[in-house]
Amino acid sequence: MFAGYLFRRFSIFPEQTPQVLNLFIIYVSLPAMVLLEVPRIKFSSEMLVPILLPWAVTILGAITIYILSLLFRWSRETTGALLLVGVLGNTSFLGIPIVGYYFGASAMPYVIIYDQLGTFLALSTYGAVVIALYSTESRVNPAHIIKKIFTFPPFIALIIAFMLQGISFAEYITDMLSITANTLVPIALISVGYSLQLKIPREHISAFSMGLVTKLLILPIYAFSIIHIFSLDGLAAKVSVLESAMGPMITAGIVASLAGFSARLSSSIIGYGVLLSFFTTAVVNWFLV
């Protein structure tokens, strides 16, 4: 990630680098990982945890941001930005390397389910609702949302992977998918590092602070509380809690900017949120162990 930051700082790579790397991940690396890992999943009631927990955390996070917006009297643009970057997490680009570091390859199927059926769908649906309610520049087209979901390459790969459930690939296919999937972590971290923006907008200091606190502290507390209330344990629950503690989603920041929300606020929350999440996820993991 630091290498990615240096590439941008010294103009070693062109400005379009994050877009190109992200497209490679979306069209090549992530689908390969989905096809490699998901057919190995043994479905059980435990699989409901990474499906339902991200939605519960998203809803609770949205309520928290809305209450804070009333208390601090934030503008519509500020509230809209925080409802996106203060709630939605970077559960693939950051989630895959961080969860893989703490829990190993066996956790990857849960990461994929959490990301695709939780965070990605939330961005496409919940995100569209936020834009419709708070943006003066964009309107929601339900048909466009549905098309976006079902034409997203990792989601297509997920559907195919479900159809291949229980099927064992030939060794050369497994090797090919494995080599391709292994490109995800270094490319994702370089992309994240290249996209970092570390300027704090002084006019939005309360929103900046509360956005980070909500995403990195309050949301993991919600996730912890849910798994304890329902006495959930096991790898799926631990992975889901750790995913809830990931830094803000970069794509959510792009969506916020396109919707006319506070672009500088979104960028600064993402930049500092990504860096701080390496420490907050370590703390969350310590509580999980």
CATH number at residue 46: 1.20.1530.20
Tell me the pTM. Answer: 0.90
SS3 89: strand
The pLDDT score that the predictor gives to residue 209 is 95
Structural domain range at position 178: 2-288
Across the chain, how many H-helices and E-strands are there?
17, 0
Overall average pLDDT of the 71-86 stretch: 95
Phi, psi of 89, deg, nearest 5: -100, 160
Query: How many Cβ atoms from other residues are within 10 Å of residue 73's Cβ?
Result: 9
* Nearest by Cα to 239 from 82, 80, 54: 54
The pLDDT score that the predictor gives to residue 137 is 61
**And the tokens for 174?**
């497994």
Give the whole-angstrom CA distance, residue 45 versus residue 237: 11
More confident position, 85 or 44: 85
Q: How far is CA 89 from CA 14, 81, 204, 220, 289, in A?
A: 27, 13, 21, 11, 22
- Mean pLDDT of the chain, nearest integer: 92
Overall average pLDDT of the 246-271 stretch: 89
Q: Residue 219 — very low, low, confident or very high, per pLDDT cuts 50/70/90?
A: very high
Check pLDDT > 90 for residue 122. yes
What is the count of structural domains for the chain?
A: 1
Element (H, E) at 150: helix 142-150
